[in-house]
Amino acid sequence: MRQQIEVNDRAQVLDESIKRLEYVNKKLASLLAEKEALTQTIIDAIGHDYEGERTYRVGLRKITCKTPMIFSLDKKKYESNEVYVPEEFNPIEHSVSYKLNKKLCEEYLSSAPESARNALLELITKKPGKPSVSITDAV
């Protein structure tokens, strides 16, 4: 439930909340950098030097190290047939994805004929996402 804030308190609440959010964001960035450094220190200290996942026993603890490799495809180069990969050695799978145009969804859900709206309502779910606030200097 949203808090109702009195008009005269709004400026103070905003000022305090903005300052606190800026502090928390800086602290999170600092903590994430520290977490990454500690993670790498532990991986190095254990000697985990290969791609994948492995669990190590260190004293009374079990430490699972995950060091994945990310593969990506140069889709433009692949689709241009600039490089030939023999079919028996081709690990690339073709897939189709669907994307909703939010602007058109809003428009059609409010103005399309009833039968089209009903069909869209069966296919599309609309719910609030996670709210966020970005604060930058107004300079």
Higher pLDDT, 29 or 50: 29
How far apart CA 135 and CA 18 sit, in angstroms, is 8
Distance CA 63, CA 47 (A): 12
Tell me what the mean pLDDT of segment 105-114 comes to. Answer: 94
The Cα–Cα gap between 77 and 82 comes to 6
pLDDT(129) > 90: no
Distance, in Å, from the CA atom of 104 to the CA atom of 111, rounded to the nearest integer, reads: 10
Q: Which band of pLDDT confidence, cut at 50, 70 and 90, is reported for residue 28?
A: very high
Please write down the long-range contacts of 121-125, taking CB distance under 8 Å and 24 or more positions apart. 124/100
Q: What pLDDT does residue 3 have?
A: 59
Q: Look up residue 20 and give its two tokens.
A: 């606190």
